[in-house]
Amino acid sequence: MELIRRGHRLVADDVVLLHADAEGRPVGESPELVRHFVELRGIGIVNVPSLFGLDSVAEQTCIQLVVRLSAWGEAEIERTGLESRTHRLESFEVAAIELPVAPGRNLATLVEVAARSHKLRQSGEIGAVMLENRVFASLGQEPSK
């Protein structure tokens, strides 16, 4: 809900139908029967466009990043962002990251930053590489390959 409040769009909750678009990329959409509905524990089932408007939902989207949530300390987490991971969705290999969940961590912010960082990575801008280059330059050295 926090991501929707920030202007992101809901495509599906719980069940995602997967197919390829004309270019062969993975596309996700919700089954029509449950489309635009979300169950919020303690509140019940809500109709997202009724609460947030038609711009709060999308019929489908190209899946570019899988965000896996894990309990803090349970998974080995990539700390620098240099390592690229993928996740298999049927016949598709999709970029993936794992985010540790713990009290006090704002998951909406972390997921939003992960998505933005992924977009930058696709354009060749990788924060860890930029920092590494800066450090080597300050030492008067060339970055290692």
Note down the domain range covering 116: 65-145
62-105: pLDDT as tens digits: 999 999 999 988 877 877 877 889 999 999 999 999 999 999 99
142 shares a domain with 87:
yes
Beta bridge partners of 47: 37
Look at residue 145 in the predicted model and tell me its pLDDT.
Answer: 62
140 shares a domain with 129:
yes
DSSP string, 9-76: -B--SS--EEEE-TTS-EEEE--GGGTTEEEETTTEEEEHHHHH-GGGB-SEEE--EEEEEEETTTSP
Whether the model pTM is above 0.75: yes
- The mean pLDDT value for 33-55 works out to 96
Confidence band of 52 (pLDDT split at 50, 70, 90)? very high
Beta bridge partners of 22: none
The count of domains in the chain is: 2
Look at residue 75 in the predicted model and tell me its pLDDT.
Answer: 74
25 shares a domain with 71:
no
Structure tokens at 27: 């596309």
105 shares a domain with 54:
no
CB atoms within 10 A of CB 38: 18
84 shares a domain with 49:
no
Structure tokens at 63: 């899946």
49 shares a domain with 71:
no
- The mean pLDDT value for 24-45 works out to 96
- The mean pLDDT value for 16-29 works out to 96
Look at residue 48 in the predicted model and tell me its pLDDT.
Answer: 97
